[in-house]
Every structure is written in structure tokens, then in C-alpha cells.
Amino acid sequence: MLSKNQIKLISSLQKKKYRDSHQLFVAEGDKLVMDLLQTNIKVAYLVHTPDWKNAPTTEHLNQIENRVETDEKLMKKVSSLKTPSPVLAVFRIPTGDIDENTIKNSLSILLDDVQDPGNLGTIIRIADWFGIKNIFCSKNTVDVYNPKVIQASMGAIARVKVTYTSLTDLISTYHSKDFPVYGTFLEGETIYKCELQSKGFIVMGNEGQGISEEVGQLVSNKLFIPNFPTDQETSESLNVSVATAIICSEFRRGEF
């Protein structure tokens, strides 16, 4: 059974300051936990009820530091879900250096103050789908280890490296004539007519404010996703994760 200290620890991880201090995050749900268990991310605690169907298949995984079987009542105490799953895992936040060579020769996504956890999780999943290995977030972007981000990423968090940094410093370090910085703007060039390169930065802005002026001044290639038909009134804007998917798809389309 879960001890009082374990319940206190796992419950505290709903808050960023405790995730930072303990360097731990929580994932819930059978598929998500099983996907993450197949990666190299270390598991501090694997907590499950007696009826969790995948318990026997995890016996061979040696990176699990503590395995705890508990009941549904205690699972509800530590779960952030309205309907708790029969399994929850506490993972150690992975560390690792940035591969500068990979950045210089591939596409990376830059997120300028994205606030919604669901959007960040979805963008991580989109990056994984389109083979983008690095996402760089401004320091005011929502925490990647927020439980809602982890749930929305659907395991992609294990394959996409997310780094928090100064976007202006990052762009200034890598931007050159052969390394473009793309961003979405209403006055940009229609994306379907652009010649897109296979390397560079793709900047996506805040849900309400878009790309900040400071970062926008460093964007070398302004893109625009047009509505259809162009002379008809439509929604004011696209959701940032939807826009990211469209843009990433266009970048990859040219590689086929």
C-alpha cells in the first residue's frame, strides 16, 4: 500500500515547484505509462491496483526503483484524473546536453509563451510525428512536466527534447543566411507558395498575442496560413497546435 509520505510526495508533484525540487513528474493511464516504460526514462515509483492487466508484462523492466500495489481509494488520492486509472508512474526528469550539430542540420520548433498545457502536449506529439527532435520554449511557456502536458503528449515526451531558454539568445546564436527563422504572421507570405528549407527554426506564438515583438524582429521568413476562400469571413485565428501541424506538414511535404 502507498504510505503517507508516498501519497504526500506524489500529490505534491501536481505543482511545478515540487516537480523542480524533486526532479520528478507523474504520468497516468495504461497506454501512456506502458509507452514511457519502454523508454530509458527512469521510474521512481510504479503504482497500480491489483487488477491492472499489464502488471505481469513489466516484471522484466529493471529501471523501476519502487513498485507499489495499492487500492482504488488510495489511487484516487494521488490521481489528477476525474476517473483514476489503475496505474500511475512517477518518472525521473531526464537530463542531457543539446546536440548542436542536430540543431544546425534539422528543423526545431520554438514556442514563444504558449500557455495552454493541452497545446504544448499536442505540439510535442506533432513534433514527434514529423520527426522534429527539439522544441525550445521561452521561460514563460507552460511547464512541460505539467500533468496535462504529459497526458496530451501521449508518450512523445520520451522522444522529443524540450528545453527552456531565451529564444532571442538562441536565435541569435544559430541564425544565418543558410539557417532561416520562420514564424507565422498575418502579413506573411502564403505558406503554400513558399520554398521551405529542411533546417531552421519554426517559431509559434502565444495563443492570444502571437509571437512577441522582441522575437518577431528576429524572424527572417514570415509565413501566413490563408483561410479559404480568402474573401469570406472565417474564424479570427487557428489554434496554435493546429497551426503547428499545418506548418510542419508543409515542411515535410517538400521532402517526398
Predicted TM-score (pTM) of the model is: 0.94
CA distance 119 to 240: 7
Residue 223 DSSP class = E
Per-position b or e across 131-148, b if 16+ CB within 10 A of its CB: ebbbbbbbeebbbbbbbb
Instruction: Assign residue 113 a region (left: φ > 0; alpha: ψ between -120 and 50; beta: otherwise).
Output: left
pLDDT at residue 61 in the model: 79
| CB proximity list for 206: less than 8 A, separation 6 or greater | 112, 113, 114, 115, 212, 240
CA distance 162 to 88: 22
Cis preceding linkage at 229, omega within 30: yes
| pLDDT one-digit tens code per residue, 115-135 | 999 999 999 999 999 999 999
158-189: pLDDT as tens digits:
999 999 999 999 999 999 999 999 999 988 99
Q: Which domains, from first to last, does the chain contain? A: 4-92 (3.30.1330.30), 100-253 (3.40.1280.10)
pLDDT in tens, 9-64: 999 999 999 999 999 999 999 999 999 999 989 999 999 999 999 988 888 777 89
For 80-95, what is the mean pLDDT?
95
DSSP strand pairing (134-137 vs 161-164): parallel
Q: Is the pLDDT of residue 230 over 80?
A: no
**Which amino acid, residue 60?**
H
